Amino acid sequence: MVASEPETDEAFPIVIPDQSERHGNKPKLILAKATSSVERIALDACKQEIAGGQEAKGIALIYRYGTGKYSARIQDILNQSAHQLGGETLYWVTRDITTKTNYGINQPGVRLITTQSALGLEFKSVYLLWLEDFDRALDTTNPEQQLRDLRELYVAMTRAQDQLTLICSSTSRLGAHLAQERENLGLEVIHA
């Protein structure tokens, strides 16, 4: 069930947490020693899942920002995927209007998609990359912005049907906060 404020038309409605239909293993939070290792960690995990029988198209790598100063990390994950996924492809859903228009459930490959474009979609396994992009969600100086950030984060996290893995640099304020609250949140925390 989704509840929203009647006077606003939000792209990310308020979702009631205890009404999630998620099942599967405990969500994981991976704190990477360096931001540059997030790509490798995610792709290695995807490779393991595929080797274990998970269909590549049931796996999504979700990210918040991928243009401007963030475009290099998207290029890094694309470059690394060619040899790390063991012959599977990486389908970058939000690369351009053509890839987004051509996207469908039968499109082969692990999905690479923005949080906003993932709205309404579900995947067996989700890797939310670069969680530090949501660090601003901890700031209380701008409550409206904080609420928008938290809604977008929640929407991204709830795309997972069976397995959710959050990956960030160990310097992420949000990652540190979630790690501290791991017991309350039911998170498995891994330092990599």
SS3 of residue 112 by DSSP: strand
What are the CA-CA distances from residue 87 to residues 46, 49, 132, 192 (Å)? Answer: 12, 14, 30, 25
- List pLDDT tens digits, range 45-97: 999 999 999 999 999 999 998 888 888 899 889 988 888 887 888 999 999 89
Whether the CA torsion 164, 168, 173, 176 is positive or negative: it is positive
- List pLDDT tens digits, range 131-176: 999 999 998 898 998 999 999 999 999 999 999 999 999 999 999 9
Q: Looking at the predicted structure, is the pLDDT value of residue 6 above 50? A: no
Instruction: Check: CB of residue 31 under 8 Å from CB of residue 190.
Output: yes
Closest by alpha carbon to 93, among 65, 112, 72, 66? 112
* Cβ within 8 Å of residue 82, ≥6 positions away: none
